[in-house]
Amino acid sequence: VLASIDAPQLASDVLDVHCVSSKNNQRSTGVSTSSPKSRSSLIVKFKSNLIAKHIINKKRRKGLLKIKDVFNIDTQGNVYVNEFLTSSTHSLYRKTKELAKACKWKYVWIMDGHIYIRKNDGSDNINIFSDADLQA
**Each residue's pLDDT tens digit, 42-65:** 889 999 999 999 999 999 999 999
Quick one: pLDDT band at residue 39, thresholds 50, 70, 90? low
Element (H, E) at 118: strand 114-118
**Each residue's pLDDT tens digit, 60-109:** 999 999 999 888 889 899 998 999 899 999 999 999 999 999 999 999 99
Element (H, E) at 39: strand 38-46
The more confident residue out of 71 and 131 is 131
